[in-house]
A and B are shown apart, each in its own frame.
Chain A
Amino acid sequence: MVPTAYYLILAAMLFSIGIGAFLIKRNVITIFISIELMLNAVNLTFVAFAHMWHQVNGQIFVFFVMVVAAAEAAVGLAIIISIFRTRRTLNVDEINLMKS
Protein backbone atom coordinates (compact mmCIF):
# COMPACT_ATOMS: atom_id res chain seq x y z
CA MET A 1 0.00 0.00 0.00
CA VAL A 2 1.44 3.31 -1.08
CA PRO A 3 -0.28 6.61 -0.36
CA THR A 4 -1.32 8.40 -3.55
CA ALA A 5 0.50 11.46 -2.25
CA TYR A 6 3.82 9.68 -2.83
CA TYR A 7 3.08 9.22 -6.51
CA LEU A 8 2.10 12.88 -6.73
CA ILE A 9 5.30 13.96 -5.02
CA LEU A 10 7.36 11.81 -7.40
CA ALA A 11 5.53 13.47 -10.28
CA ALA A 12 6.23 16.89 -8.75
CA MET A 13 9.93 16.06 -8.48
CA LEU A 14 10.08 14.94 -12.11
CA PHE A 15 8.18 18.04 -13.18
CA SER A 16 10.52 20.40 -11.30
CA ILE A 17 13.56 18.64 -12.75
CA GLY A 18 11.94 19.10 -16.15
CA ILE A 19 11.53 22.83 -15.53
CA GLY A 20 15.12 23.07 -14.34
CA ALA A 21 16.44 21.25 -17.40
CA PHE A 22 14.24 23.38 -19.64
CA LEU A 23 15.78 26.56 -18.24
CA ILE A 24 19.39 25.44 -17.95
CA LYS A 25 19.90 23.52 -21.18
CA ARG A 26 21.04 25.45 -24.25
CA ASN A 27 20.57 22.77 -26.87
CA VAL A 28 17.22 22.84 -28.68
CA ILE A 29 16.90 19.06 -28.66
CA THR A 30 17.62 18.80 -24.94
CA ILE A 31 15.08 21.53 -24.23
CA PHE A 32 12.56 19.55 -26.23
CA ILE A 33 13.48 16.42 -24.24
CA SER A 34 12.82 18.22 -20.95
CA ILE A 35 9.37 19.20 -22.20
CA GLU A 36 8.70 15.51 -22.75
CA LEU A 37 9.84 14.85 -19.19
CA MET A 38 7.32 17.38 -17.88
CA LEU A 39 4.54 15.77 -19.94
CA ASN A 40 5.45 12.40 -18.46
CA ALA A 41 5.35 13.79 -14.93
CA VAL A 42 1.86 15.12 -15.53
CA ASN A 43 0.79 11.77 -16.98
CA LEU A 44 1.88 10.07 -13.76
CA THR A 45 -0.44 12.31 -11.72
CA PHE A 46 -3.29 11.49 -14.08
CA VAL A 47 -2.75 7.76 -13.70
CA ALA A 48 -2.42 8.07 -9.92
CA PHE A 49 -5.69 10.00 -9.70
CA ALA A 50 -7.41 7.54 -12.03
CA HIS A 51 -6.36 4.79 -9.66
CA MET A 52 -7.54 6.77 -6.66
CA TRP A 53 -11.02 7.50 -8.02
CA HIS A 54 -11.42 4.10 -9.73
CA GLN A 55 -12.28 5.80 -13.01
CA VAL A 56 -10.64 5.32 -16.39
CA ASN A 57 -11.11 8.96 -17.41
CA GLY A 58 -7.63 9.85 -16.21
CA GLN A 59 -6.14 7.08 -18.33
CA ILE A 60 -8.05 8.31 -21.38
CA PHE A 61 -6.53 11.72 -20.77
CA VAL A 62 -3.04 10.22 -20.65
CA PHE A 63 -3.78 8.49 -23.93
CA PHE A 64 -4.64 11.82 -25.52
CA VAL A 65 -1.51 13.41 -24.05
CA MET A 66 0.56 10.65 -25.65
CA VAL A 67 -1.07 11.22 -29.03
CA VAL A 68 -0.49 14.95 -28.83
CA ALA A 69 3.11 14.35 -27.71
CA ALA A 70 3.69 12.15 -30.75
CA ALA A 71 2.33 14.82 -33.08
CA GLU A 72 4.33 17.48 -31.27
CA ALA A 73 7.54 15.47 -31.51
CA ALA A 74 7.09 14.98 -35.25
CA VAL A 75 6.52 18.67 -35.95
CA GLY A 76 9.07 19.88 -33.41
CA LEU A 77 11.84 17.68 -34.74
CA ALA A 78 11.04 18.77 -38.29
CA ILE A 79 11.36 22.38 -37.13
CA ILE A 80 14.68 21.59 -35.44
CA ILE A 81 15.98 19.98 -38.62
CA SER A 82 15.01 22.97 -40.74
CA ILE A 83 16.56 25.38 -38.18
CA PHE A 84 19.76 23.38 -38.32
CA ARG A 85 19.74 23.50 -42.11
CA THR A 86 19.53 27.28 -42.22
CA ARG A 87 21.51 28.31 -39.11
CA ARG A 88 24.00 25.42 -38.75
CA THR A 89 23.62 25.45 -34.97
CA LEU A 90 21.45 23.92 -32.28
CA ASN A 91 22.29 26.47 -29.57
CA VAL A 92 19.25 28.52 -28.66
CA ASP A 93 21.36 31.58 -27.83
CA GLU A 94 22.58 31.76 -31.40
CA ILE A 95 19.14 31.41 -32.95
CA ASN A 96 18.29 35.11 -32.60
CA LEU A 97 17.25 36.22 -36.05
CA MET A 98 14.13 37.95 -34.74
CA LYS A 99 16.12 39.94 -32.15
CA SER A 100 18.05 41.94 -34.77
Chain B
Amino acid sequence: MTRRPDLLLGGIPVARRFGLVNWLGLATFFRREMSRNFKIWKITLAAPAIRAILFASVFGLAIDQDSTLIGNLPFMAFLIPGLVAVAALERAFESSAFSIVYDKVEGIFGDLAVLPLTPGELVLGFSAAAVSGSLIVSAVVWAALLPFGGSLPQNPLAMVFFVSVGSLMVGLFSQISGLWARKWDYITSVQTFVFLPFVFFSGVFFSLDALPDFLLPVARANPVFYIVDGIRFSLTGQAEVSPLFGALICVAVTAFLWGVSYRLFSVGYRMKS
Protein backbone atom coordinates (compact mmCIF):
# COMPACT_ATOMS: atom_id res chain seq x y z
CA MET B 1 0.00 0.00 0.00
CA THR B 2 1.35 3.36 -0.91
CA ARG B 3 1.33 6.26 1.48
CA ARG B 4 1.57 8.95 -1.18
CA PRO B 5 -1.67 10.95 -1.18
CA ASP B 6 -1.57 11.63 -4.93
CA LEU B 7 -1.79 7.91 -5.56
CA LEU B 8 -4.90 7.44 -3.49
CA LEU B 9 -8.44 8.17 -4.58
CA GLY B 10 -10.73 7.90 -1.59
CA GLY B 11 -8.32 5.45 -0.02
CA ILE B 12 -8.07 3.32 -3.17
CA PRO B 13 -4.69 3.28 -4.96
CA VAL B 14 -4.73 4.58 -8.52
CA ALA B 15 -2.12 4.59 -11.22
CA ARG B 16 0.54 7.25 -10.87
CA ARG B 17 0.12 9.98 -13.45
CA PHE B 18 2.95 11.54 -15.31
CA GLY B 19 3.46 13.92 -18.19
CA LEU B 20 5.18 13.39 -21.48
CA VAL B 21 8.15 11.61 -19.93
CA ASN B 22 8.00 9.07 -17.14
CA TRP B 23 10.92 10.62 -15.26
CA LEU B 24 10.58 8.39 -12.21
CA GLY B 25 10.55 5.28 -14.36
CA LEU B 26 13.43 6.48 -16.45
CA ALA B 27 15.51 7.31 -13.36
CA THR B 28 14.74 3.91 -11.82
CA PHE B 29 15.68 2.14 -15.00
CA PHE B 30 18.90 4.16 -15.26
CA ARG B 31 19.74 3.30 -11.66
CA ARG B 32 19.23 -0.38 -12.31
CA GLU B 33 21.54 -0.28 -15.32
CA MET B 34 24.22 1.61 -13.43
CA SER B 35 24.15 -0.61 -10.38
CA ARG B 36 24.26 -3.65 -12.63
CA ASN B 37 27.37 -2.31 -14.34
CA PHE B 38 29.18 -1.22 -11.25
CA LYS B 39 28.18 -3.92 -8.82
CA ILE B 40 31.20 -5.79 -10.08
CA TRP B 41 33.37 -2.68 -10.14
CA LYS B 42 36.53 -4.76 -9.89
CA ILE B 43 35.72 -6.05 -13.33
CA THR B 44 34.22 -2.91 -14.83
CA LEU B 45 36.74 -0.40 -13.47
CA ALA B 46 39.90 -2.13 -12.32
CA ALA B 47 40.13 -4.61 -15.20
CA PRO B 48 40.16 -1.97 -17.99
CA ALA B 49 42.73 0.03 -16.04
CA ILE B 50 44.98 -3.02 -15.64
CA ARG B 51 44.58 -3.90 -19.30
CA ALA B 52 45.48 -0.38 -20.39
CA ILE B 53 48.55 -0.46 -18.15
CA LEU B 54 49.53 -3.83 -19.62
CA PHE B 55 49.29 -2.52 -23.17
CA ALA B 56 51.24 0.60 -22.23
CA SER B 57 54.01 -1.45 -20.58
CA VAL B 58 54.21 -3.97 -23.36
CA PHE B 59 54.45 -1.35 -26.09
CA GLY B 60 56.78 0.70 -23.93
CA LEU B 61 59.14 -2.25 -23.44
CA ALA B 62 59.06 -3.37 -27.05
CA ILE B 63 60.21 -0.05 -28.54
CA ASP B 64 62.79 2.61 -27.86
CA GLN B 65 60.50 5.32 -26.66
CA ASP B 66 62.82 8.28 -27.00
CA SER B 67 63.53 7.78 -30.66
CA THR B 68 59.98 7.03 -31.72
CA LEU B 69 57.73 9.82 -32.88
CA ILE B 70 54.33 9.56 -34.51
CA GLY B 71 53.56 12.89 -36.12
CA ASN B 72 54.92 15.26 -33.49
CA LEU B 73 54.07 13.00 -30.59
CA PRO B 74 56.24 10.60 -28.62
CA PHE B 75 54.92 7.06 -29.00
CA MET B 76 53.39 6.90 -25.52
CA ALA B 77 51.61 10.24 -25.87
CA PHE B 78 50.15 8.89 -29.11
CA LEU B 79 49.15 5.55 -27.60
CA ILE B 80 47.52 6.74 -24.36
CA PRO B 81 44.49 8.50 -25.92
CA GLY B 82 43.94 5.33 -27.94
CA LEU B 83 43.95 3.20 -24.80
CA VAL B 84 41.52 5.56 -23.08
CA ALA B 85 39.24 5.35 -26.12
CA VAL B 86 39.36 1.54 -26.19
CA ALA B 87 38.43 1.32 -22.52
CA ALA B 88 35.53 3.76 -22.91
CA LEU B 89 34.16 2.02 -25.99
CA GLU B 90 34.50 -1.47 -24.52
CA ARG B 91 32.51 -0.38 -21.48
CA ALA B 92 29.84 1.12 -23.72
CA PHE B 93 29.59 -2.09 -25.72
CA GLU B 94 29.38 -4.34 -22.68
CA SER B 95 26.97 -2.12 -20.79
CA SER B 96 23.71 -2.47 -22.73
CA ALA B 97 24.25 -5.68 -24.67
CA PHE B 98 25.30 -7.76 -21.67
CA SER B 99 22.40 -6.43 -19.65
CA ILE B 100 19.90 -7.26 -22.39
CA VAL B 101 21.28 -10.74 -23.03
CA TYR B 102 21.44 -11.47 -19.32
CA ASP B 103 17.72 -10.67 -19.05
CA LYS B 104 16.97 -12.73 -22.15
CA VAL B 105 18.79 -15.78 -20.81
CA GLU B 106 17.03 -15.40 -17.47
CA GLY B 107 13.74 -15.07 -19.32
CA ILE B 108 12.85 -11.70 -17.82
CA PHE B 109 13.58 -9.46 -20.82
CA GLY B 110 9.91 -9.33 -21.72
CA ASP B 111 9.38 -7.38 -18.49
CA LEU B 112 10.78 -4.31 -20.22
CA ALA B 113 7.95 -4.43 -22.70
CA VAL B 114 5.28 -4.18 -20.02
CA LEU B 115 6.90 -1.37 -18.04
CA PRO B 116 5.29 2.05 -18.39
CA LEU B 117 8.33 3.14 -20.37
CA THR B 118 8.12 4.14 -24.02
CA PRO B 119 10.65 2.77 -26.51
CA GLY B 120 12.25 6.21 -26.52
CA GLU B 121 12.68 6.09 -22.77
CA LEU B 122 14.22 2.62 -22.94
CA VAL B 123 16.73 3.74 -25.55
CA LEU B 124 17.48 6.83 -23.49
CA GLY B 125 17.89 4.83 -20.27
CA PHE B 126 20.26 2.28 -21.82
CA SER B 127 22.22 5.01 -23.60
CA ALA B 128 22.54 7.22 -20.54
CA ALA B 129 23.90 4.31 -18.52
CA ALA B 130 26.38 3.42 -21.26
CA VAL B 131 27.63 7.00 -21.58
CA SER B 132 27.93 7.52 -17.82
CA GLY B 133 29.79 4.24 -17.42
CA SER B 134 32.18 5.13 -20.23
CA LEU B 135 32.89 8.58 -18.83
CA ILE B 136 33.78 7.05 -15.46
CA VAL B 137 35.92 4.30 -16.98
CA SER B 138 37.76 6.69 -19.28
CA ALA B 139 38.58 8.96 -16.33
CA VAL B 140 39.90 6.00 -14.34
CA VAL B 141 41.98 4.66 -17.23
CA TRP B 142 43.31 8.11 -18.03
CA ALA B 143 44.40 8.52 -14.40
CA ALA B 144 45.95 5.05 -14.35
CA LEU B 145 48.05 5.93 -17.40
CA LEU B 146 49.36 9.23 -15.98
CA PRO B 147 52.61 7.61 -14.72
CA PHE B 148 53.25 6.25 -18.22
CA GLY B 149 53.45 9.70 -19.77
CA GLY B 150 49.84 10.80 -19.82
CA SER B 151 49.02 14.49 -19.66
CA LEU B 152 46.15 16.78 -18.80
CA PRO B 153 43.70 17.13 -21.68
CA GLN B 154 44.50 20.06 -23.92
CA ASN B 155 40.82 20.48 -24.53
CA PRO B 156 38.69 19.02 -21.71
CA LEU B 157 35.36 19.97 -23.27
CA ALA B 158 36.22 18.23 -26.53
CA MET B 159 37.33 15.25 -24.45
CA VAL B 160 33.95 14.97 -22.73
CA PHE B 161 32.19 15.47 -26.06
CA PHE B 162 34.13 12.78 -27.93
CA VAL B 163 33.97 10.22 -25.12
CA SER B 164 30.22 10.84 -24.79
CA VAL B 165 29.35 10.74 -28.46
CA GLY B 166 31.67 7.76 -29.01
CA SER B 167 30.20 5.74 -26.19
CA LEU B 168 26.70 6.76 -27.23
CA MET B 169 27.40 5.45 -30.73
CA VAL B 170 28.81 2.17 -29.43
CA GLY B 171 26.12 1.96 -26.75
CA LEU B 172 23.40 2.15 -29.41
CA PHE B 173 25.20 -0.46 -31.48
CA SER B 174 25.33 -2.57 -28.34
CA GLN B 175 21.56 -2.23 -27.81
CA ILE B 176 20.95 -3.34 -31.38
CA SER B 177 23.31 -6.32 -30.97
CA GLY B 178 21.70 -7.20 -27.66
CA LEU B 179 18.23 -7.19 -29.20
CA TRP B 180 19.45 -9.37 -32.03
CA ALA B 181 21.29 -11.84 -29.78
CA ARG B 182 19.44 -14.84 -28.47
CA LYS B 183 22.21 -16.24 -26.29
CA TRP B 184 25.60 -15.32 -24.85
CA ASP B 185 27.62 -16.65 -27.74
CA TYR B 186 25.78 -14.37 -30.19
CA ILE B 187 26.95 -11.35 -28.31
CA THR B 188 30.51 -12.55 -27.76
CA SER B 189 30.67 -13.24 -31.50
CA VAL B 190 29.62 -9.68 -32.30
CA GLN B 191 32.22 -8.49 -29.84
CA THR B 192 35.08 -10.52 -31.27
CA PHE B 193 34.26 -10.50 -34.96
CA VAL B 194 32.75 -7.03 -35.41
CA PHE B 195 33.41 -4.70 -32.52
CA LEU B 196 37.03 -5.63 -31.81
CA PRO B 197 38.26 -5.38 -35.43
CA PHE B 198 36.54 -1.99 -35.80
CA VAL B 199 38.28 -0.77 -32.66
CA PHE B 200 41.70 -2.29 -33.34
CA PHE B 201 41.86 -0.84 -36.85
CA SER B 202 40.70 2.60 -35.82
CA GLY B 203 44.16 3.99 -35.24
CA VAL B 204 44.32 3.17 -31.56
CA PHE B 205 47.79 1.66 -31.75
CA PHE B 206 49.14 3.17 -34.94
CA SER B 207 48.62 6.12 -37.20
CA LEU B 208 46.58 5.20 -40.26
CA ASP B 209 49.56 6.35 -42.34
CA ALA B 210 51.24 3.11 -41.30
CA LEU B 211 48.66 1.16 -43.32
CA PRO B 212 49.20 0.31 -46.97
CA ASP B 213 47.77 3.01 -49.26
CA PHE B 214 44.89 0.96 -50.60
CA LEU B 215 43.61 0.33 -47.08
CA LEU B 216 43.53 3.98 -46.11
CA PRO B 217 40.04 4.76 -47.54
CA VAL B 218 38.69 1.60 -45.86
CA ALA B 219 40.14 2.64 -42.53
CA ARG B 220 38.74 6.14 -42.97
CA ALA B 221 35.27 4.66 -43.47
CA ASN B 222 35.40 3.23 -39.95
CA PRO B 223 33.40 5.57 -37.69
CA VAL B 224 35.43 4.45 -34.66
CA PHE B 225 38.45 6.10 -36.24
CA TYR B 226 36.80 9.53 -35.81
CA ILE B 227 36.10 8.84 -32.14
CA VAL B 228 39.69 7.81 -31.45
CA ASP B 229 41.09 10.67 -33.49
CA GLY B 230 38.81 13.11 -31.66
CA ILE B 231 39.88 11.80 -28.24
CA ARG B 232 43.52 12.02 -29.31
CA PHE B 233 42.94 15.58 -30.47
CA SER B 234 41.36 16.48 -27.13
CA LEU B 235 44.20 15.01 -25.11
CA THR B 236 47.21 15.99 -27.18
CA GLY B 237 46.10 18.54 -29.75
CA GLN B 238 47.24 16.35 -32.63
CA ALA B 239 44.69 14.90 -35.04
CA GLU B 240 44.71 13.24 -38.44
CA VAL B 241 41.47 14.82 -39.62
CA SER B 242 39.77 18.05 -38.65
CA PRO B 243 38.08 17.48 -35.24
CA LEU B 244 35.00 19.35 -36.42
CA PHE B 245 34.61 17.02 -39.39
CA GLY B 246 35.15 14.05 -37.05
CA ALA B 247 32.49 15.36 -34.67
CA LEU B 248 30.00 15.72 -37.53
CA ILE B 249 30.58 12.15 -38.68
CA CYS B 250 30.18 10.87 -35.12
CA VAL B 251 26.93 12.76 -34.63
CA ALA B 252 25.52 11.56 -37.95
CA VAL B 253 26.35 7.90 -37.32
CA THR B 254 24.99 8.16 -33.78
CA ALA B 255 21.73 9.71 -34.99
CA PHE B 256 21.32 6.90 -37.51
CA LEU B 257 21.96 4.20 -34.87
CA TRP B 258 19.54 5.92 -32.49
CA GLY B 259 16.87 5.68 -35.17
CA VAL B 260 17.57 1.98 -35.70
CA SER B 261 17.56 1.17 -32.01
CA TYR B 262 14.39 3.20 -31.43
CA ARG B 263 12.70 1.38 -34.27
CA LEU B 264 13.70 -2.04 -32.93
CA PHE B 265 12.43 -1.25 -29.44
CA SER B 266 9.19 0.13 -30.93
CA VAL B 267 8.40 -3.01 -32.87
CA GLY B 268 9.66 -5.17 -29.99
CA TYR B 269 12.17 -7.00 -32.19
CA ARG B 270 13.02 -10.33 -30.49
CA MET B 271 11.55 -8.79 -27.38
CA LYS B 272 7.84 -9.45 -27.40
CA SER B 273 7.88 -13.00 -28.68
- Asked if A and B are interacting partners, one says no
**B-to-A contact residues, CB < 8 Å:** none
